[in-house]
Amino acid sequence: MPGSDRQRTLEGLTSAEAAERLRRAGPNELAASSRFARSLDGSRVLSSSSWGVGSTVATGIAIPFTPLAGWLGFTPLPPVFAALVTMIIAYLGVVEVVKR
């Protein structure tokens, strides 16, 4: 790497050295100008993966109540699972309300 101030050390930089280099050289231009970094929207990625997981779970829950259940050897779930699902949904709702 050109320039003596860009030499690597085993210890790394102190916070004062890092602040001085940031003041002198500015932020990392390579990361700021990356087309890939600008095009990638984290909320879209998270949303699409959430929908994928949610649809998979919904399909898994629905299969025992379809005609495929008998062919696959599934039996109906005991009624206690309805209460369990209700408690989980209520818990997730409370967590969302408390987070905000």
- Note the pLDDT tens digit of each residue in 35-82: 555 555 555 655 667 778 888 988 988 888 888 888 999 887 788 988
* Domain-located, residue 24: yes
Q: Are 66 and 72 in contact (CB under 8 A)?
A: no
What is the Cα–Cα distance from 59 to 62, expressed in whole angstroms? Answer: 5
* Domain-located, residue 15: yes
Q: Residue 23: which domain range?
A: 8-36
Distance of CA 87 to the CA centre of its chain: 24
Q: Quote the strand ranges of the chain, DSSP E.
A: none
Encoded amino acid at 63, one letter? I
What is the Cα–Cα distance from 7 to 43, expressed in whole angstroms? Answer: 37
* Domain-located, residue 78: no
Q: Whole-number mean pLDDT of the chain?
A: 77
* Domain-located, residue 83: no
